[in-house]
Chain A
Amino acid sequence: MTFDATTGLVLREGTIFERSRAGRKGFQLPDPKVPRVRPKGFTRKAAAELPEVSELDVVRHFTRLSSWNYAIDLGTFPLGSCTMKYNPRINEEIAALPGLTDIHPDFPPAYVQGALEILFTLEKILAKIAGLDAVSLEPAAGAQGEFTGLSVIRTFHERHGSDRKLVLIPDTAHGTNPASCTLAGYKIAPLKSSQKGALGKEAVDEAIRTHGRNIAALMMTNPNTLGLFETQIADIAESLHEIGAQLYMDGANMNAILGVARPGDMGVDVMQYNLHKTFSTPHGGGGPGAGPIAVRSHLAPYLPAPRVVRNDQGQFDLSYPEESIGKVKGGMGNFGVLVRALTYILHHGSAGLKEISHAAVLNANYIKRRLCEHYALPVEGPSFHEVVFSDAKQTPHGIKTLQIAKALIDRGFHPPTIYFPLVVSGALLIEPTETESIAELDKLIDAFIDIAQLVAKDEKFENVPTKPIVGKVDEVRAARTPVLTLDDRGQ
């Protein structure tokens, strides 16, 4: 059996500062053709020690660095709840149009009609996909969408004279959910999922009996982070609405249900999208993303301002509703990311989006079927776009999830999400996405099986991974003696 990872020619490289030579000049700035003057006061005494390198130095340095990264463009990236799908390059070409990059949010609306139309169009489409009434594109990422949604909910309650303090959060939630609650001024009350991994209506009703009208909202992810559809969500929504509480849905896993089920029909009042997941905008090593929120009409007045509006003549303009929560980010959201997402959506059309979810869920179930003999399945029930395994079959041999992950690296794959969700001990959360072919999935599956079989033969996987440019990284030392800049070295 052959695997994809090998050790080819990999070039070592220091930091860019190690290429620096005093007095070398790189980029040539244009000549302004005005007299050069310097200020008289407040002047800087010592210039910032930036590198002094040539253009070729910069090109070689960053090209070498890039060769040390794993990426979707290199191979399967089955990172659960992150939806690492292929990023079509037409998105990049469109987003780089000068008419879309060389515009300032403070240009008068008359000169940015195209940009406003893009925002207006995307808002309408995202509202349709959600089955909700209004959308704000301002939040910069999923977590900011959560904060924005919670701020909208808080403002809604305040305007209705209700001072609620609690948000309910199931134990399968992403870490951003509770963190966003704190930022929005809420305390959290954790909810236990059922044995089957879903959130039961009983658990919610129990919490309602305990906390009553102190509950501002429930935040749930659907499908949840175990890859299961929350089948009781509509009934849960009813229970919440009876006491005036709101249902927030974390839309991180929307790739499973595009055109199949709409959050609005589940009773959801607010949700956020993660455009860098569901709608293929590149993750870029940790961002930028975009986290638009969609809301039901009763929450629409509180969305961040400005809002894009279209007048009777078809002209676009900005409006500043009085009841808005204000701004959550400068400018008009991560516009460049929004352009990419709209490109992707129009590239596929509404029928295509539905096909995407069908293929994504099929792929996850294919992996589940082929791996279930080799790895333990901690929860039963039909999987959607991702499937969670655990290391339960491997721990008797002394092998844990972390080693399985690192062994996968040596076989040419990015590991799945590990040790999440927290409710599963030694979790391996696999999300293949629709863009992987069966042939690519077979390679990944074979690598997983190879590892499982070796574990069964008591292979210890010491010192994995061996193939990347660096061996296992000493993370304990990094935290104990932090070296966070070049100037920390040797201190």
Chain B
Amino acid sequence: MPSIPLTSDEKTKVLSTLGLRSTDDLFSSIPPRIREKADIGFESDHGMSEHELRTFFARLASRNTLHQDHFVGGGIYDNTIPAIVGQLALRGEFLTCYTPYQPEISQGTLTAIFEFQTMISRLTAMPVANASMYDGATATAEAVTMALRLTEKRDILMSEALPPDYTKVTNTFLKGHARDPLFIKTTTEGTTDLEHLKQMLQTHDPAAIVIGYPNYFGVIEDLAMIRKLTNALLIVTVPDPSALGLFEAPGTLGADIVCGEAQQFGTPMTFGGPHVGFFATRKENLRQMPGRVAGETVDSRGNRAYTLTLSTREQHIRREKATSNICTNQGLIALRTVIYLSFLGKQGLVELSEINHSLFEYLETALERRNIAKRFTGQHYREGVFEVPDLPARFKRACAAGVIPGIMLGPKFGKGFANSLLIAVNPKHDKTAIDRLVGALA
């Protein structure tokens, strides 16, 4: 047995110490009618060797077709990951440690969490951030439930232009509160319709308004204008925080809660997880914030030290009155994020943002030249919806030519989007890759 070091001599000795004949006797308190049925036999009764596992999974991995290029985004983005990210994050001291409840022997993890909080705070221009959430979708849902607690109001107004997964997960969370969100329409610019919002505000006094920045269509919303329209809590969810290299931080524009997804900062797409959600807010909301936080303090010798703090918000102390049920979060992915952002650095983030933006502008011009136009007219960042005549057939053709050209929005947004393709660029692309995409689609 690969992971059981017990020798048969040791087993015999321990059993005799315990006065037992066999390990079966350890389970004698289980009622026989339960024990007798416990046959879990599955295909692989005796276990595979490492070699067999490699063969088995290599076959499965090869059944996933890795195309030469893909332009799929929508909240999960491909990126080039520095070699040191994976190697440092695989150090056993990070990989195989626990939640840092014992601060004296967890200073490494705690320091990294403090750095993560600092980076998220500076990126979003919000004063406080937590140690991570599961992903951008659950972070958004937690923001909404936090707004309900803070305001004790009923209604939640959500932009229609949020990533569909964010909307679905928030819906599931709201059902626990017996609420349904109300949706704000989208304009021809691809932004949240502020006229519709104004109308809704005449009849509703919402707890919060939820806006994507950039939104699912890759469009930058006018947060400052939205802020002027309402005193409701403004939740800004950022599925693509690389935008914050070029575009103004939500905290500067009046957001009350800024959350989102940091996967692209050092973590592969991995079919949707594990990724890492982030969550930042104003200081006055701190006591209602979900999730763990690390704080700086001193030790018994007067040296700087870190510890988890403000845990009276959390489930292990507050139980049913906790701000969330979250316990295990995405610690190791938060660590990857800190390593990536450290190496990318202040100028690097601006450059990353600029590369994405420039690639998209080039793509847009090239597609327009082939009569494939953007659906929306607003300010885009790295991603946008294009109207491709006869999309399903062209999509298939592009895939056959080695390019997954984006996400077909028909299945997600209905008939009006039958020819709408959401195309995202990333730093793995260059002029050649985009020319190839344009050729494949035109």
Contact = CB atoms under 8 A, between A and B. Distances in A.
Nearest to B247: A42
**Interface size range of chain A in the complex:** 35 or more
Interface string B36-72: 0110111011111010011011111111111100101
Given A34-B362, A261-B38, A285-B335, A140 B94 contact: no
Contact of B321 (A182, A234, A283, A348): A182
Given A15-B111, A359-B4, A484-B293, A287 B328 contact: yes
Contacts of B171: 326
Interface stretch (B181-189, B196-204, B309-317): B309-317
Interface in B234-281: 244-249, 252, 261, 268-275
A435 to B, nearest CB: 5
A395 interface: no
B89 to A, nearest CB: 8
B6 A359 contact: yes
Nearest to B65: A111
B414 interface: no
Contact of A436 (B5, B15, B314, B359): B5
A265 B176 CA distance: 30
B95 interface: yes
Given A34-B358, A435-B4, A362 B14 contact: yes
Interface string A143-169: 110110001001100000000000000
Contacts of A348: 1-3, 47
A258 interface: yes
A290 B383 CA distance: 30
Contacts of A231: 29-31
Of A106, A118, A472, chain B has the most CB atoms within 10 Å of the CB of A106
Contacts of A465: 104-105
**Interface size range of chain B in the complex:** 35 or more
Of A32, A53, A325, A354, chain B has the most CB atoms within 10 Å of the CB of A32
Contacts, number: 713
A392 interface: no
A3 interface: no
B325 A143 contact: yes
Contact of A51 (B1, B292, B342): B342
Of B15, B295, B404, chain A has the most CB atoms within 10 Å of the CB of B295
Contact of A478 (B104, B175, B296): B296
B125 to A, nearest CB: 8
A288 B379 contact: no
B10 interface: yes
Given A44-B246, A286-B331, A475-B309, A470 B294 contact: no
A343 B345 contact: no
B47 A352 contact: yes
Contacts of A107: 64, 70, 72, 404
A142 B135 contact: no
Contact of A66 (B41, B94, B286, B316): B94
A62 B332 CA distance: 13
Contacts of B33: 234, 265
B348 A25 contact: yes
12 contacts: A36-B354, A39-B381, A143-B325, A175-B314, A179-B320, A326-B175, A330-B137, A352-B1, A362-B18, A479-B312, A483-B296, A484-B128
Given A68-B107, A69-B97, 10 more contacts: A59-B84, A63-B91, A174-B327, A175-B318, A265-B33, A331-B272, A334-B134, A346-B44, A348-B47, A352-B47
**In the A-B complex, the 4 residue pairs with the closest CB atoms:** A331-B272, A99-B61, A284-B332, A73-B92
